[in-house]
Amino acid sequence: MKTETKKGFLYILLLKNKEAFKVGITDNEDLIRINNLSRIYEFDLDESFIVETTKNRTTKSMERQIHADYKMFSYDIEPKADGHTEFIKFEHLNYILEEIEFKSRLKHLGVKIKKGINANNLFKTKVVKPKKRNFTNNKNNRK
């Protein structure tokens, strides 16, 4: 039986207007997903939360449960960008945080919750140089 060793991250991103928050997951430690979302929506990262789990499947399970349990409290947001269906009305935040706090006390789940997401580390962009390609139609150049 294969054991899972990859960490997972569940994020709770509060909108600056405090009307709603977004719940999602990423398996990137550098939180590229949050960086991309922050270019679309205005989040208050100081008041937002990041939940780290020792197992990615725990993170996925937590996200699925939250969205299933709070589906009737979803928040309709504009623009309709990627992830727009994962917003929940703000008044339900404390209930979700209580559930996560409870799970953090169950040591076998390996759940840690932290308030505040460091924007300084988050918005450092990585420069990736594209590979040079030869686009000639010469058959001798094809590999």
How do residues 37-90 score in pLDDT, each as one tens digit? Answer: 989 999 999 999 999 999 989 999 999 999 999 999 999 999 898 889 999 999
Give the three-state DSSP class for 6.
Answer: coil
Distance of alpha carbon 96 from alpha carbon 126, whole angstroms: 33
- Predicted confidence at residue 36, as pLDDT, reads 87
Distance CA 14, CA 117 (A): 11
What is the number of other CB atoms lying within 10 angstroms of the CB of residue 7?
16
Q: Measured between alpha carbons, how far is 75 from 78 in angstroms, rounded to an integer?
A: 10
Instruction: Report the pLDDT averaged over residues 21-25.
Output: 96
Instruction: Give the integer Cα–Cα distance in Å for 116 and 14.
Output: 10
- Binned at pLDDT 50, 70 and 90, residue 124 comes out as very low
